[in-house]
Every structure is written in C-alpha cells, then in structure tokens.
Structure 1
Amino acid sequence: MTRLLVVDDSALMRRVLGEVFQNEAGFEVAFARDGVEALERLHAFEPDVVTLDVQMPRMHGLDCLDRIMVERPCPVVMVSSQTAEGADATLEALQLGAVDFVAKPDGAVSLALDDFAPILIEKVKMAAASRLRRSHRLAERIRALHGAAEPQPPPVTPKLKPKIRTRLTASRSPASDGAPPGLVIIGTSTGGPPALDTVLSAIPADFPWPILVAQHMPAAFTASLARRLDGLCALEVIEVTRPMPLVAGHIYIARGDADMTVSRRSAGPVALPVPSSPEYRWHPSVDRLVASAAATMPSDRLVGVLMTGMGNDGARTMADLRAAGGQTIAESEHTAVIWGMPGELVKADGADVVAPLGEIAERILDMVGAG
C-alpha cells in the first residue's frame, strides 16, 4: 500500500486528485490544504509520496518542499502550472529535491482528466520506487534532527557567466565540409534536470563537439530548462525551435512535446525540431534522436549518454550505436533517481561505461579526447 499525501489549496484539485488515486488499487490517500498543513500531515501520516502544488497561501510550495527535504525526506511530485513562472519554479523544485513533476491541464481539469490521470499515476508510482540521494542536504537534516532552529536555505548554485570562449585547436576544428568532428547525445527523463546540471556544468568552454539533449518534458518547460542550463554552463545552451547548424561550443535542448532529429545539409549537420511521432512513446524521443544522428554521422564519431529516467527510451538505439562502433555511457544504479533507461541499456549490453553521475562528464571528455 502506497501512502500518498495530496497537497493543494484548490478544493477542486484535491477532489480530482483524490478520485484519481482512490480509484487506483494500492493507494491510501490523505490531503492537506496548504504547506503548513502539509508539514503537520507529513509527520502524522508518514507518506511514501507527496504531490505538491506550487502556488499556495500561507506557505509557498517551494518553501514546503524545502522543509520536507530536511525534516522528513520522501519522494515529491510537483503539480505545476504550464506558465513561464510555473516552469521556473518547477526546475527550482527539482533542484531542491523533488523527483518529478506533472503539468496541470489547461482549462477545465475534469475535461482533461482522461489524459492527465494516467500520467500522474505513472509518475507517482515511479516516485514511490525512486531513489533519493542520501547525501542531499545531510548536514541540515542532522541539525534539524537534533533540534536546531529553522533549516537553512539550500546553497545557490554558482553561475559560470560571463562565458569565456577559447579557440579550438587545429585538431579540434570542424571538418572541411563544415561538419563538427562528432556529436554527444544525452537522454534523460525522471530526475534528469539536476543530473544535467551536474554533467553539463562540468564541460569546459573549449569542448570540441556539439552536445544534443533529449529530456522528457512538456513544451512549456524546455525553454526554462535551456535558460537555467545556459546560466550554469560554460557552453552556450539553446532550445531548438527551428533548424540550427550544429557547432562546437553549444548544447542543443530538444523542445518539449516534440522530437529533435539530426539532418545533413550542404554546410554540415543541423538539429531539426519535428512533430512528435506516435511511433515513439516518450518525447522528446531519445531513440529518434540517436537513430537520426547515426544515419547522419559515422558511428565512431558519436557518443551516447543515457541517464536517470523511467522506461527504456534510448536503450535500443544506443545499444545499436555501440554495436556499430560508437561509444556509450550509462549512469550507474547507485546515483540514478530511476534506473530505468540506463538500466535497460546495461541489460542490453549496450554500455561501454557504467558510471556514477559525478564521473560522467569526465568520461565524456575521455571519449571525445578533450580531457
């Protein structure tokens, strides 16, 4: 039995979310009207998972999440509005320790329930099975356990801007036809944004290959993800909303609810935003991105990286990539929030390297020869 605490200031949303899980076997559901009440229920009800609204009276959802992660850490799924402000708050929540998020339906919730409910149920079930980082804010948890005063706010991730560009050496210059020497492709899902923070912020400004990222996420959130990463990374980070030439010094983020492919033009390869295909379950699709890159570039000039996420997106095509001479990295089970996607790659004997999150950037640099 999974004990679920639903936190939302809207009586309608509490009723709708309650009905979703009370009609689903294996759930015991409790409710809280705001963050203050949620913290009271946190200790009395002892939930296995929390769904948490962002905008609430008395205590903001982010403040409540902050307290949960210190006082009694458990998996939290944010229920976020599909606005720029909601997207920014969601990414901050993921950095604070939330496992995943689901976007509230636009318009009448009841009319969109058939689409919304299965997604929410799947994410909550995955959250219940997820792995929280034991070291996350450990010192603050110890202080709270020993009766210290209010927990301190988490440290702010340092910004790396202004970006410092370094010239590529001759050996790292693009080919004569304008093509980059190779491509790095990263696929992530649940737990992905903080993992991307860790890996991409460790890539130096003179990295010689473009990096393409497919992070499962709605369209309203990927622009915020690109802005956030651009503030953290030495490389330039761009959301792909139109055809873009692939050049070194850039990270290309696939637009949410769509797919990104690689295509060859006369001046070299380009990243293309394309409508999502029903052939693929998750979007932006890692499988579709890897397959298009393998059809465009020699396999031995491709590096595939599969990190935390539910499902198996990317596992098949990255295993094929390795068999064709490419190189692949899978995040280890020890650090992955959900060892679905990277675990499937390992099971398919498709990973050259299985590495914890903190070592993946170094492994990429080694494979590209940029260390």
Structure 2
Amino acid sequence: MIRLLIVDDSALMRRLLGEVFRAEGDFEVAVARDGDEAMAMLAECRPDVMTLDVQMPRMDGLACLDRIMLERPLPVVMVSSVTEAGARETLKALELGAVDFVPKPGGAVSLAIDELGPLLVEKVRAAAAARLRPSHRLRERVRLRAGLSASPTPSPAPRATRRDPAPRAAGLVDRVVLVGCSTGGPPALDALLGPLPADFPWPILVAQHMPAAFTGPLARRLDKLCALTVVEVTRPVPVVPGQVHIGRGNADLILSLRPGGLVAMAAPALPEHRWHPSVDRLVTSALQHLSAERLVGVLMTGMGSDGAAAMARLRAGGGRTIAEAEETAVVWGMPGELVRLGGAEAVLPLDAIAGTLTGWAG
C-alpha cells in the first residue's frame, strides 16, 4: 500500500481527492486541513507521498514544504492554480524540493476532478517512487539538527558571467542541442544550463512538459541563472548560438527552416502526442531540416517515454545523445527508455552533462 497524505484547506477537495485515490485500491489515505495539521500528522501516518495545496490559511503550502524538506524529506506533489502567480509559487516549490505539480481544477470542481484524477494518480504514483536528491538542502538540514537556525534558501545566483556573444547567422549554426525533460525537470535545467559558458557555440531548444502559464516564468527564472540568454518561444525566432529556447506550454516546440536560416516555433499541440511540449515532435522536426550529425539530444528526468524513440533514431543516424543517469534522475522514465532502446551514447549524472556538452562543443 502507498501511504498518502492529502493536504488541502477545502473540505470538498479533500473528499474528492480522497475518493479518487481510495478507488485505486492500493492507497492508504489520510487528510489534513492545513500545513500545521500536516506537520503534526507526519510522525503518526508516516506518508510515502503527499499532495500539498499551495494556498492555505495559517501555514501555507510553501512554508509547509520548506519545513518538510528540512525535517522529514518525502516526495511532494503540489496542487497549484494555473496562473502566472501560481506558476511562480510552483517554481519556488520545485526549488524547495517538490517532485511535481498538478493544476488545481477551476469552476465546478466535482466535474473537473474526473478529468484531473487520472493525471493526479499517475503523478502521485511516480512521485512515491521518485528519487529525492540526498544532497538537496543538506547544509540546512545539518544546521537544523544541530540546533542552529536553518538559513533561508537563497535565490539562485548567476553561475557564469553573461556577455553578448558575437552575432552569427542562423544558417551558420554548427549543431543544435535538443533537451527533453518532465517530472523533476526545472531543477535539472538549473543544473544543466547554469554552468554553460556565455560563449557556448550551439543553440539549445528545450521541451519541458508544462502548462502554458508556467513556461514564461520558467524561462525568465532560467535567464537570471544563466550566462546564456533564455527565452520562451511564443513566435518564430531565429536559432542562434548563445540562446536557449524554452517551448511554450500546451503547445509544441519545433525547429523549422526559412530563407534566413533556422527558426524555433511554437506549433499547436498534436493529439497523437500525450505530453506537451512534445520531445518526440521537437526531435522529429529537427531531423527533417538537419542531418543527425548536426544534432545533440539530451534526455533528462521525467516519467513516461517521450523523446526516447526519436532520440534513438537521432543516435542511429550519427547524432550524439546523452541520457541522465538513474542515480540523479528524479524519475528515470524518459532517459531510462532511451538507454533501453540503445540510443544513449553517454549515460551521465546530472552534474556531468554540462561539462560533457562543453567538451563536445570545444
């Protein structure tokens, strides 16, 4: 049985979510009305996984998550509103240590829960089996257990000096890096993009599974972290060195070729792809316009298999590929499938990927 603690200040949400998970037959469900009650229940019910509302009275979801990750780390799935403010809160929750998030249903909740339920169950199951990074916030946990106050988590600082790279025409791009990630992806993108130097010579296109309201704040956050320029793709933009292009949520990111050179575009999501932005579609579009030898695929943490088949084709055609190693992936679904298909040239822990890309580019 999977021991689940549902934390939500809405009695209706607690009841509906409880019904969803109890109907699965393998969940042992407990509920809490707010962060204070959740903290008091941790020792008693010893949950394997938790769903946590962001907006709650008394101790809100972020404060509760902060304490959990310092005092008793466990996998947490945030339930957040699909607004820009909700996106900022969710990204902060992922930075604090949450494994994943689901959008909170609006309108008639009792009707929307039928649509949300299967996704929530899938994400909570994946979170229950997720790998939490032992080193995450370790210094703060050690200080707390020594009776010292834990320093607040600092906002990420730029890890390399930004400079404007020399302009190059899109058509002269040597190679393009295609990155795919899902569950656990935002912190993984921090670790991938933060160490890359400002003169990294290859453009980077990123398909991170997210709703539309979340990818803009994600791109702005990463832009503050990185020496490279990070932008959300909402219109056709030239693909040039020194830029990272984040696919817009609820759409697909594709690479196209125009008279002036390569462009990154947001395309309407296709129903044959379950997750968006679709990694498979990004890689397939790139292979339509560039030889595999001019592409590098990086598949990182995420449940499912999106991107694995397309990156295996890329590798078979002579391209280069990296799969994140199981030891660092929050969920080793997508990169694990690439390895299973024999499509990974290198299987690397997260902190080694940026250095490998820089070496390959040199």
TM-score using structure 1 length: 0.94
Matches within 5 A, 1:103-182: 103-146=103-146, 148=147, 150-159=149-158, 163-167=162-166, 173-174=168-169, 178-182=171-175
CA distance in 2, matches of 1:150, 1:197: 26
What is the deviation of 1:143? 3.7
Give the letter aligned to residue 210 of structure 1: P
Give the letter aligned to residue 328 of structure 1: T
1:318 aligned partner: 311
1:17 aligned partner: 17
C-alpha distance 162-331 of structure 1, shift in aligned 2 (>3 A): closer
2:265 aligned partner: 272
Gaps of 5+ in 1: none
2:256 to 251, 254, 263: 263
Percent of matched pairs sharing the same residue: 62
Give the letter aligned to residue 9 of structure 1: D
Residue-pair matches, total:
362
Kept in 2, the 8 Å contact 1:261–1:288? The answer is yes
What is the deviation of 1:149? 5.1
C-alpha distance 368-238 of structure 1, shift in aligned 2 (>3 A): same
- Deviation sequence 1:76-108 (CA, Å, 0-9, x none): 000000111110010011011000000112322
Instruction: Tell me how large the CA RMSD over aligned residues is.
Output: 1.5
- Partner SS, residue 214 of structure 2: helix
- Is 1:202 matched with 2:201? no
1:221 aligned partner: 214
What is the deviation of 1:68? 0.2
Kept in 1, the 8 Å contact 2:185–2:208? The answer is yes
1:88 aligned partner: 88
C-alpha distance 30-149 of structure 1, shift in aligned 2 (>3 A): farther
1:353 to 342, 346, 353: 346
CA distance in 1, matches of 2:159, 2:153: 18
CA distance in 2, matches of 1:227, 1:321: 30
Matches within 5 A, 1:42-121: 42-121=42-121
- Partner SS, residue 277 of structure 1: coil
CA distance in 2, matches of 1:269, 1:174: 9
CA distance in 2, matches of 1:142, 1:205: 35
- Partner SS, residue 354 of structure 1: strand
2:298 aligned partner: 305
Kept in 2, the 8 Å contact 1:183–1:303? The answer is yes
Kept in 2, the 8 Å contact 1:182–1:210? The answer is yes
C-alpha distance 366-162 of structure 1, shift in aligned 2 (>3 A): closer
CA distance in 1, matches of 2:132, 2:160: 30
Give the letter aligned to residue 361 of structure 1: A
CA distance in 1, matches of 2:231, 2:173: 17
What is the deviation of 1:248? 1.2
- Is 1:292 matched with 2:291? no
Q: Structure 1 runs of 4+ off > 6 angstroms? A: none
- Partner SS, residue 287 of structure 2: helix
CA distance in 2, matches of 1:174, 1:367: 21
What is the deviation of 1:312? 0.6
Kept in 1, the 8 Å contact 2:7–2:32? The answer is yes
- Deviation sequence 1:171-207 (CA, Å, 0-9, x none): xx547xx342210000000000000011111111111
- Partner SS, residue 271 of structure 1: strand
CA distance in 1, matches of 2:247, 2:139: 36
2:360 aligned partner: 367
Kept in 2, the 8 Å contact 1:303–1:367? The answer is no
1:253 aligned partner: 246
CA distance in 1, matches of 2:50, 2:143: 23
What is the deviation of 1:139? 3.0
CA distance in 2, matches of 1:139, 1:200: 23
What is the deviation of 1:160? 5.6
TM-score using structure 2 length: 0.96
- Partner SS, residue 131 of structure 1: coil
CA distance in 2, matches of 1:117, 1:20: 6
Give the letter aligned to residue 233 of structure 2: V
1:39 aligned partner: 39
- Is 1:328 matched with 2:321? yes
- Partner SS, residue 126 of structure 2: helix
CA distance in 2, matches of 1:87, 1:152: 24
What is the deviation of 1:323? 0.7
Gaps of 5+ in 2: none
Give the letter aligned to residue 158 of structure 2: K
Kept in 1, the 8 Å contact 2:35–2:60? The answer is yes
- Partner SS, residue 126 of structure 1: helix
What is the deviation of 1:167? 2.9
C-alpha distance 241-166 of structure 1, shift in aligned 2 (>3 A): closer
